[in-house]
Amino acid sequence: MSAPLSTVDIKARHRAAEILRKRFLEVIEAIMRGEEPRLVIPKRTLSNTIFDDERMLLLLGPDKFERSFLDMREARKFMQTVLMASIIFEALINNEYPTIRDLYYRGKHTIRYRDHRGRIREENTWDEQQESDSVLRDVEVYTGLLREDMLILSKEKGKVVGDMRIRSGDDVIDLSKMGHGAYAIEPTPDLIEFIDVNAEFVLVVEKDAVFQQLHRAGFWKKYRAILITSAGQPDRATRRFVRRLNEELGLPVYILTDADPYGWYIYSVFRIGSITLSYESERLATPNAKFIGVSMTDIFGDPETGKKPYLTEAERRNFIIKAKKTDIKRAKELMNYKWFQTPKWKKEIGIFLRKQSKLEIEALTGKGLKFLMDVYLPTKLKTGDFIG
Amino acid sequence: MSAPLSTVDIKARHRAAEILRKRFLEVIEAIMRGEEPRLVIPKRTLSNTIFDDERMLLLLGPDKFERSFLDMREARKFMQTVLMASIIFEALINNEYPTIRDLYYRGKHTIRYRDHRGRIREENTWDEQQESDSVLRDVEVYTGLLREDMLILSKEKGKVVGDMRIRSGDDVIDLSKMGHGAYAIEPTPDLIEFIDVNAEFVLVVEKDAVFQQLHRAGFWKKYRAILITSAGQPDRATRRFVRRLNEELGLPVYILTDADPYGWYIYSVFRIGSITLSYESERLATPNAKFIGVSMTDIFGDPETGKKPYLTEAERRNFIIKAKKTDIKRAKELMNYKWFQTPKWKKEIGIFLRKQSKLEIEALTGKGLKFLMDVYLPTKLKTGDFIG
């Protein structure tokens, strides 16, 4: 490949390859000293996933486990881990950009060996991608390198527009000059350099179509916002990009989703991280992200605070969707999460369970894009009517 | 909304509003003349969907049907059509950018009326979005305006990078300066102006992750390509954008998908259009788009032509996925389509049915991104080894 590679990529490659080499060199050195080769890896189990109250983050706890080459039960996993590390290392030094699917394919083969009774046996390195993905996670927690640090790419859905300039690769990109289109966020958002920004907050919209509408109507220009869509459940790059805008530029982050447990979970992933992948949260989550709506009190009002609903009786009749059984079940699950046990969230989930009603953002644009853009969002922002 | 609207949008609005007004004015004028109000609309049925051999396109045939206000069976549909047209017209003159979901919400309400026996009855304008979407299609074929012409927005997945400059809205965008990210195509690609282009062909990749890899490795720079991903089944905007690159700039278009019936269908949608929405094909399809791979002869070779396979025996063993029953069924369905009845496609589908095997593009990047970029794609292009 003779096309010039971006200088940031070359630097990132060297760093990751060096860390990977060092961490696995320790194993080799152990062998040289006549010791049993083993890997000590942080546990990624639910019982070792801790919610840090102060930082408002899901994090890996202190538990570790040993993966030893000489333990029969662990030998296969040990081999898989070393195999994965070597595939990634090779990709790094060969200027490759593998995906997790590639890593699965690259490692997939059948090993023939003689067992202790001399019989020839066959074993696959791994059968399903689920298995190689799990091994990759072990490599991530063992080295402290996220996959993005190792130039492992993935598909991306996140888009952004707003009055800011960034450097990505060797280009400077003006995110306020995207016309009717948008900038599709890269899979390695840590390599983006923020050059300058002229905005007061970040609005993340769950739905791509609503993002298109707000963008086209000039929302971000008029209200000095960085406008982002996650196009559904956010991917890692979108989460990391949002976190960096918050942490490094000090921009408050507001998340706009449908009024249903699925929308709440999207907010939760942005804010707290995903439960099964808590080791990423430390870099991917935005602990002070706010849920701006659509909230149940937006739909029904709140007698306790005197808040009036944004929808009329007739609009509620036309727009509300009856909650499904799975929605109810999901809402009850969310109630168990510590970060949903605040007074505001209790009220929100309580109304949902009583009314068994949900609402899409599009019901608000159904009332008029002007309503969403110039009434609903500005009022919510001005009165501080958000959760989180 | 005081944010400045783009000048192309204002022009597009005026044009669409004028056509819409004229077409529905005819109905009103008929009423004024004492005639029965009715709409004559091209039929969107399968029997009126014709495959045009010469243009290689699915098109609507000459059949039309009448929707009359005074026909009891048609009155509701007539009302729905007029309602939809008036909602769109209002959105156009109010500088709104509705989505099809919005149109559903905007029109959704209950009409109370007295029937001929004097009883009060209630009827919903429409119940499901399926119903309002169908009415929107009637408005499209009746007016000859596609939804994009009426500034109806939608979510978009398509991305592009390459050495070309475009004007979108009031901005000029250099698609060769996107860093590691990409340009997300706008929902109204007809409003894009091509300023200049420096490329020899268009490569459309089904998978976003593979697009990321080829982009990052500099494929489009090295091989002078416009690189696009549809991120799965292509949306309308991506299809229209590709068509325009082909038609207006004369660039050949190559489609790269997984080697399976699902991938072939993606190719088919790009090339011929979708069967259920044939009225769009005339503007959305790219009749001379080529299927560059991954083909069955790439995997297994071709004794007839002496073509050698790109995979070794061992690679086939590791990479091939066994076809599912639904894949077989889908393949047999595709055989019925006229445009899959060419010798090359017959061979392709024949091998698939015999071997019952499929393969992902990632199996090729699993062999190495260099292999995909510097061996597979250039060889296929140089030897003209594609279908279509």
Q: Predicted confidence band at B76 (pLDDT cuts at 50, 70, 90)? A: confident
Instruction: Round to whole Å and give the CA distance between A140 and B300.
Output: 37
Give the three-class secondary structure for A337: coil
Amino acid at A218: G
Does residue B360 carry a pLDDT above 90? yes
Rounded to 5°, the CA angle A115-A119-A122 comes to 70
Residue B1: the pLDDT is: 46
Chain A CB within 8 Å of residue B370 CB: yes
Compute the mean pLDDT over every residue in chain B, rounded to the nearest whole number. Answer: 93
Among B residues 196-225, those touching chain A with beta carbons less than 8 Å apart:
207-210, 212-213, 216-219, 221-222
Residue A277: the pLDDT is: 78
Average of per-residue pLDDT across B342-370: 95
Across the interface, of A98, A179, A208, the residue whose CB is closest to B169 is: A179
Six-digit token string for B13: 């609005």
Instruction: Round to whole Å and give the CA distance between A252 and B72.
Output: 57
Residue of A nearest to B126 (CA): A318
Residue A14: the pLDDT is: 96
SS (H, E, C) A189-257: HHHCEEEEECCCEEEEECCHHHHHHHHHCCHHHHCCEEEEECCCCCCHHHHHHHHHHHHHHCCCEEEEC
Residue A308: the pLDDT is: 96
Q: According to DSSP H, which parts of chain A are helical?
A: 7-32, 72-93, 100-107, 129-143, 208-216, 219-222, 236-249, 261-271, 278-284, 296-300, 313-319, 325-334, 343-355, 361-366, 369-370, 377-382
Does residue A284 carry a pLDDT above 90? yes
Q: What does the radius of gyration of chain A's CA atoms come to, in whole angstroms?
A: 24
Across the interface, of B3, B167, B314, the residue whose CB is closest to A218 is: B3
Lowest mean pLDDT among A219-223, A352-356, B58-62, B206-210: B58-62
Half-sphere exposure of A75 (CA within 13 A, CB side): 5
Across the interface, of A157, A172, A373, the residue whose CB is closest to B1 is: A373
What's the pTM?
0.94
Element (H, E) at B135: helix B129-143
Do the chains contact at A178 and B181, CB–CB below 8 Å? Answer: no
Residue B81: the pLDDT is: 93
CA distance B212 to chain A (A): 7
Do the chains contact at A101 and B360, CB–CB below 8 Å? Answer: yes
The set of residues, in sequence order, having a beta carbon less than 8 Å from that of A178 and lying 6+ positions away, is A161, B168, B171, B173, B183, B184
Instruction: Round to whole Å and give the CA distance between A311 and A145.
Output: 48
What are the beta bridge partners of residue A99?
A153
Does residue A57 carry a pLDDT above 90? no
Six-digit token string for B168: 């979108």
Say if residues A254 and A295 touch (Cβ distance below 8 Å).
no
Say if residues A225 and A200 touch (Cβ distance below 8 Å).
yes
What's the DSSP call for residue B307?
B
Residue of A nearest to B90 (CA): A368
pLDDT digits over A32-43, tens only? 888 888 889 999
Say if residues A125 and A80 touch (Cβ distance below 8 Å).
yes
Residue B25: the pLDDT is: 87
Q: Predicted confidence band at A1 (pLDDT cuts at 50, 70, 90)? A: very low
Q: Predicted confidence band at B93 (pLDDT cuts at 50, 70, 90)? A: very high
Beta strand pairing call for B38-42 and B49-52:
unpaired
Instruction: Round to whole Å and give the CA distance between B153 and A207.
Output: 12
Amino acid at B257: T
Across the interface, of B97, B101, B182, the residue whose CB is closest to A184 is: B182
Say if residues B282 and B57 touch (Cβ distance below 8 Å).
yes
For chain A, domains (ranges, CATH) are: 7-143 (1.10.10.10), 159-383 (3.40.1360.10)
Rounded alpha-carbon distances, angstroms, from residue A176 to A89, A165, A247, A339: 38, 8, 21, 35
With pLDDT > 90 as the criterion, what percentage of chain A qualifies?
75
CA distance A129 to chain B (A): 12
Residue environment code for A60-96, b if the CB has 16+ CB neighbours within 10 A, otherwise e: beeeeeebbbeeeebeebbbbbbbbbebbbebbeebb
Residue A3: the pLDDT is: 62
CA distance A37 to chain B (A): 29
CA distance B213 to chain A (A): 6
Residue A270: the pLDDT is: 96
Does residue A2 carry a pLDDT above 60? no
What's the DSSP call for residue A37?
P
Contacts of A157 in chain B (CB under 8 A): 157, 208, 231
- The interface predicted TM-score (ipTM) is 0.94
Do the chains contact at B1 and A102, CB–CB below 8 Å? Answer: no
Chain B CB within 8 Å of residue A3 CB: yes
Cα torsion A282, A288, A289, A295 to 10°: value is 130
Phi, psi angles (nearest 5°) of residue A312: -80, 170
Rounded alpha-carbon distances, angstroms, from residue B14 to B8, B91, B221: 10, 12, 40
Residue B6: the pLDDT is: 84
pLDDT digits over B258-279, tens only? 999 999 999 999 998 877 778 8
Instruction: Round to whole Å and give the CA distance between B249 and B234.
Output: 21
Q: Predicted confidence band at B3 (pLDDT cuts at 50, 70, 90)? A: low
Instruction: Round to whole Å and give the CA distance between B365 and B253.
Output: 21
Residue of B nearest to A161 (CA): B184
Instruction: Round to whole Å and give the CA distance between B98 and B88.
Output: 8
CA distance B257 to chain A (A): 15
Amino acid at A37: P
Six-digit token string for B378: 């250039």
Query: Among residues B266, B226, B258, which one has the least CA distance to residue B242?
Result: B226
Average of per-residue pLDDT across A172-188: 98
Q: How many CB atoms lie within 10 A of CB B74?
A: 17
For residues B6 and B84, the model is more confident at B84
Residue B335: the pLDDT is: 94
Instruction: Round to whole Å and give the CA distance between A135 and A192.
Output: 28
Instruction: Round to whole Å and give the CA distance between A358 and A279.
Output: 32
Six-digit token string for A293: 């709506």
Say if residues A227 and A199 touch (Cβ distance below 8 Å).
no
Residue of B nearest to A169 (CA): B179
Cβ–Cβ pairs < 8 A, chains A and B: 235
| Percent of residues in chain B assigned helix, strand, coil, to nearest 5 | 45, 20, 35
pLDDT digits over A119-174, tens only? 988 888 898 999 999 999 999 999 999 999 999 999 999 999 999 999 999 999 99
Contacts of B231 in chain A (CB under 8 A): 155, 157
Six-digit token string for B346: 């017959």
Query: Among residues A284, A219, A286, A276, which one has the least CA distance to residue A254?
Result: A286
Long-range contacts of B117-125 (CB under 8 A, 24+ apart): B123/B76, B125/B79, B125/B80, B125/B83
Give the three-class secondary structure for A173: strand
Chain A CB within 8 Å of residue B159 CB: yes
CA B140 to chain centre: 15
With pLDDT > 90 as the criterion, what percentage of chain B qualifies?
75
Instruction: Round to whole Å and give the CA distance between B184 and B86.
Output: 31
Six-digit token string for B180: 């590691």
Cα torsion A348, A352, A355, A356 to 10°: value is 170
Residue A326: the pLDDT is: 97
Beta strand pairing call for A225-229 and A64-68:
unpaired
Q: Is-catalytic flag, A105?
A: yes
pLDDT digits over B120-134, tens only? 888 888 989 999 999
Say if residues A157 and A228 touch (Cβ distance below 8 Å).
no
Say if residues A67 and A74 touch (Cβ distance below 8 Å).
yes
Element (H, E) at A3: none
Six-digit token string for B154: 């939608």
Give the DSSP letter string of B139-203. Answer: HHHHHT--GGGGT-B-----EEESSEEEEETTEEEETT--TTSEEEPPS-GGG-EEEEE--SEEE
Q: Which of A102, A123, A176, A235 to mutate to test the interface with B (most CBs of B within 10 A)?
A: A102
Average of per-residue pLDDT across A207-231: 97
Instruction: Round to whole Å and give the CA distance between A78 and A71.
Output: 9
Rounded alpha-carbon distances, angstroms, from residue A336 to A330, A331, B376: 10, 9, 52
Rounded to 5°, the CA angle B204-A226-B218 comes to 30
Chain B CB within 8 Å of residue A126 CB: no
Average of per-residue pLDDT across A220-237: 97
